[in-house]
Amino acid sequence: MAQRDNTKRKRRIGFPLTLVGVITLAAVFGALYLAWWRDTAPHVLYKAYTAAPAGWDADWSMDGDTCGAKTVGTTVVESFKMEIENFPAAASIAYAGYMAGMGWKEASNGTEILAPTQGIPLPGIEALKATLNNAPGYALEYRAHFPKAGWTEWLGDGIMVGEPKSGDVMDAFQARLVVADSAVAVFEAKQGARVDFSDIYFKVGSEGFNFEVPETARNLARLYKFAQQSCDNLQMVIEGHSSAEGDAAVNQTLSEQRAAKVRDWLVRKGVSPTKIAQTKGFGASQPKVPEPPSGAVSAAELEAIRKQNRRISVTIERGCQ
């Protein structure tokens, strides 16, 4: 009997030791994997210089971490720098910050936007933009926090976050790498060309963008990039379309307001107003896919059709050729 009790006792002791061992091994392997990932995977790194007495962040932030004020609203960012690592040698990162009374200050690859001097306050960064170059397969997204405006939407491709001359100075910043969408259709700036953007989402019953859906900012960025890279004499017509759901008059008004909202966003980000000939709203009068009568298809199928019909369209009124 004693022998049996000892065996049982050993088993009781052995099980927790085995569990502890598994947890320990998992932690070790996890740490090794993180170290390998840190040393081999591509990363974007960034640091902020905040108003005295903080100075430069102690460590580089990376991959979505927050730099600057760890508690937003507690300080202002006076200078800034970014780096990339584990990319091909040809890859680079360029960035610029707008400061009141000083204009845009540009930098790249780990250099400071402006060299701060401890004890001498700088006006702070009111707007910022960054571009990742020669890095196939990757895209850079970033956003900033401002005490008055809050967090901006996630943007990229050199699109400005913040507002120059606003007096609202950045206090925190985040950046991340995403897989570049190689399947994005590129449309030519030829007269009569047209492209639909069904993935620019708006808040329900409102002309306000729904930036909680990442595709909204990304599709606005694609439209911005097209407008900026095309010729100076380009003229686009921005059109708003709705589904047939709801009141026709309300849908008509919303489609007009949403087209105007896209125009205003592009102009605020730096697109010349002369490139946008006009905005139009068509309500549900020009569906991309005819909507079947209620009950003819499932609710999910009907919503998929309506999603295609709720869209922003861009038509080239005057092309580059």
* Domain chopping of the chain, boundaries: 43-179, 194-318
d(CA 97, CA 161): 10
Digit-coded pLDDT (tens) for 15-58: 455 776 667 766 666 555 555 545 678 999 999 998 777 789 98
Digit-coded pLDDT (tens) for 120-158: 778 899 999 999 999 988 989 999 999 999 999 999 889
Contact 243, 309 (CB under 8 A): yes
d(CA 47, CA 172): 10
- Top pLDDT among 180 and 272 is at 272
Instruction: Kindly state the DSSP code that residue 120 receives in the 8-state scheme.
Output: B
Distances (CA, A) of 47 to 77, 162, 175: 10, 18, 11
- CATH topology for the 194-318 domain: 60s Ribosomal Protein L30; Chain: A; (3.30.1330)
Residue 7 has pLDDT above 60, yes or no: no
Q: What percent of the chain has pLDDT over 70?
A: 83
Question: Average pLDDT for residues 217-246, to the nearest whole number?
Answer: 88
Residues 6+ apart with CB under 8 A from 179: 137, 138, 139
Q: What sign for the dihedral angle of Cα 122, 124, 127, 133?
A: positive
Contact 279, 239 (CB under 8 A): yes
Residue 213 has pLDDT above 80, yes or no: yes
Which residue is listed with tokens 């209620």?
294
Determine how many CB atoms are found less than 10 A away from the CB of residue 292.
11
Distances (CA, A) of 238 to 116, 177, 223, 278, 279: 43, 30, 11, 7, 5
- Which letter, b or e, does each residue of 77-96 get, where b requires 16 or more Cβ atoms within 10 Å of its Cβ? bbbbbbbbbebeeebebebb
Distances (CA, A) of 252 to 210, 247, 300: 19, 9, 24
Which residue is listed with tokens 């000939």?
277
Digit-coded pLDDT (tens) for 240-296: 999 998 999 999 999 999 999 999 999 999 999 999 999 999 999 999 999 988 788
CA angle 161, 263, 241 (to 5 degrees): 125
Instruction: Kindly state the DSSP code that residue 48 receives in the 8-state scheme.
Output: E
pLDDT value for 11:
47
Distances (CA, A) of 29 to 36, 117, 198: 10, 44, 44
Digit-coded pLDDT (tens) for 38-47: 567 899 999 9
Q: What are phi and psi of 254, to 5 degrees?
A: -60, -40
d(CA 67, CA 9): 53
